[in-house]
Structure 1
Amino acid sequence: MSWLWAIVVGLVLGLIAKAILPGKQEIPLWLTAVFGILGSILGNAVATWMGINETKGIDWGRHILQLIGAVAVVGVGDMLWSAIRGKGRQRT
């Protein structure tokens, strides 16, 4: 997978994850793409661990696990981002 493809897939998965999560996420677009990439990597690792290495046709199991990973990483990342930004606002 090339870096450009990883960024595109990460951005798409991150945006889908933001749409799935309830409420408004405060993370910027670039961080959404980073979290989507990390979630995709996490989903790939879980798929490999589960033995879903290669399938014929569309690899739905791997894609669903990538999306679940992106939702988890975006959710946790948004909480961390809000906590960091919230502390920074109190100091000023």
Structure 2
Amino acid sequence: MEITGIISGLIIGIVIGALGRLVIPGRQRIPIWLTIVIGVVAALIGTAIAAALGVADTGGIDWIELGIQVALAALGVSLSVGMYGRRRE
């Protein structure tokens, strides 16, 4: 894997993780590194799901794939907020 692939993966993970946090109402008390990890994992799994559904490679912006990725990130953020919050108290 090249360094540009790693950097672009991190940037996409940051964006997807941030969008996932914005979808969840209220304040999330999780560290930024966890948001990035959730975003990267959600982007990878979302791309795999979109490919399985046959909507991963369309002309222009892949809105369905992006929606799947953000939904997975929101799910990951909400689950990690619940687990991280219980552990911290």
* TM-score of the aligned structures, taking structure 2 as reference length: 0.85
**What is the deviation of 1:44?**
1.1
Pairs aligned (count): 86
Q: Which residue of 1 aligns with 2:58?
A: 55
Q: Which runs of 4+ in 1 moved over 4 A?
A: none
Partner SS for 1:3: helix
Within 2, Cα distance between the matches of 1:36 and 1:52?
A: 20
Within 1, Cα distance between the matches of 2:88 and 2:10?
A: 25
Task: Give the unaligned 5+ runs of structure 2.
Answer: none
Task: Give the unaligned 5+ runs of structure 1.
Answer: 87-92
Are 1:13 and 2:16 matched, yes or no? yes
Within 2, Cα distance between the matches of 1:73 and 1:44?
A: 15
Within 2, Cα distance between the matches of 1:74 and 1:40?
A: 13
For 1:41, which of 40, 44, 64 is the aligned residue?
44
* TM-score of the aligned structures, taking structure 1 as reference length: 0.82
Higher CA-based Rg: 1
Within 1, Cα distance between the matches of 2:30 and 2:62?
A: 29
**What is the deviation of 1:38?**
1.1
Structural RMSD (CA): 1.5
Partner SS for 1:2: helix
Paired-residue identity, %: 30
Are 1:27 and 2:60 matched, yes or no? no
Q: Which residue of 2 aligns with 1:85?
A: 88
Amino acid at match of 2:9: A
